[in-house]
């Protein structure tokens, strides 16, 4: 049975496994050995205890099947909040069974309850799978995203 619930600090191992799976899926796995587990764990605790971050975990018969996390920030122009998904993954085993859809629907519900009028996400240009999925979920491309290395 599929269960969606907010993650807590006890879920650190499950979250780590899912983020590793995301890194494998999007080709960032080569960066994984560079991760300092102490920094990773401290940052995760900080995010989990922040009211601005939401981690939603999908469990299939108690086993981690997927994760979506997003943060919420106010917008000056409308006064409404805006939610941004920063990570989203469904395990290879659980893909194609509607888990991703349920996670996005739950994320939308939580974001609405937190006063958001927009749920945004950005993904790598070459991630055709994610692009197809987000379009299916009702997302439309509104912006181009830039970043600078500091
Ligand atoms: C993208 C991802 C989260 C989708 O999760 P999922 O559980 O497999 O998706 P679902 O089964 O809920 O699919 C929901 C809908 O999206 C569609 N969809 C899913 N993957 C798709 C793809 N690769 N291309 C096009 N459409 C896709 C499904 O057909 C389904 O539509 P339908 O209900 O009309 O049939 C999952 O494939 C994944 O984790 N990929 C690797 C990590 C990744 O790329 N994450 C996003 C980067 S931020």
Model pLDDT for residues 48-105, shown as the tens digit of each residue:
999 999 999 999 999 999 999 999 999 999 999 999 999 999 999 999 999 999 999 9
Expressed in angstroms and rounded, the spacing between residue 96 Cα and the centre of ligand 1 is 6
Cβ of 22 less than 6 Å from ligand 1? yes
Helix (H) / strand (E) containing 63: strand 63-74
Average pLDDT over residues 104-108: 98
Question: Is the distance from CB of 58 to CB of 91 less than 8 angstroms?
Answer: no
User: Which long-range contacts link 22-31 to residues 24+ away (Cβ below 8 Å)?
Assistant: 22/67, 22/87, 22/88, 22/89, 25/89, 25/92, 26/124, 26/127, 26/130
Under the banding of pLDDT at 50, 70 and 90, the label for residue 37 is: confident
Question: Which whole-number Å values give the CA distances from 84 to 53, 59, 88, 93, 116, in the listed order?
Answer: 10, 22, 11, 26, 10
Question: Is the distance from CB of 99 to CB of 57 less than 8 angstroms?
Answer: no
pLDDT at 28: 73
pLDDT surpasses 70 at 33: no
What's the token pair of residue 93?
């085993």
* Ordered domains of the chain (ranges, CATH): 2-136 (3.40.630.30)
Pocket perturbation via mutation, ligand 1, pick of 29, 68, 129 by most ligand atoms within 8 A of CB = 129
Average pLDDT, the chain: 94
Cβ of 132 less than 6 Å from ligand 1? yes
Of all residues in the chain, the percent with pLDDT exceeding 90 is: 85
Question: Is the distance from CB of 102 to CB of 60 less than 8 angstroms?
Answer: no
Which residue, 119, 109, 36, 26, is CA-closest to 72? 119
């Amino acid at each position: 049975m599929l269960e969606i619930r907010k993650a807590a600090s006890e879920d650190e191992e499950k979250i780590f496994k899912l983020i590793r799976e995301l890194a494998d899926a999007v080709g960032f796995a080569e960066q994984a050995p560079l991760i300092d587990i102490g920094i990773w764990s401290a940052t995760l605790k900080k995010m989990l205890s922040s009211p601005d971050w939401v981690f939603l975990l999908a469990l299939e018969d108690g086993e981690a099947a997927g994760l979506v996390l997003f943060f919420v920030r106010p917008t000056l122009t409308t006064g409404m909040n805006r939610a941004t998904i920063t990570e989203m993954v469904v395990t290879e085993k659980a893909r194609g069974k509607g888990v991703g859809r349920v996670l996005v629907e739950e994320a939308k519900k939580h974001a609405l309850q937190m006063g958001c009028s927009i749920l945004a996400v950005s993904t790598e240009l070459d991630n055709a799978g994610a692009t197809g999925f987000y379009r299916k979920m009702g997302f439309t491309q509104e912006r181009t995203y830039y970043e600078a290395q500091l």
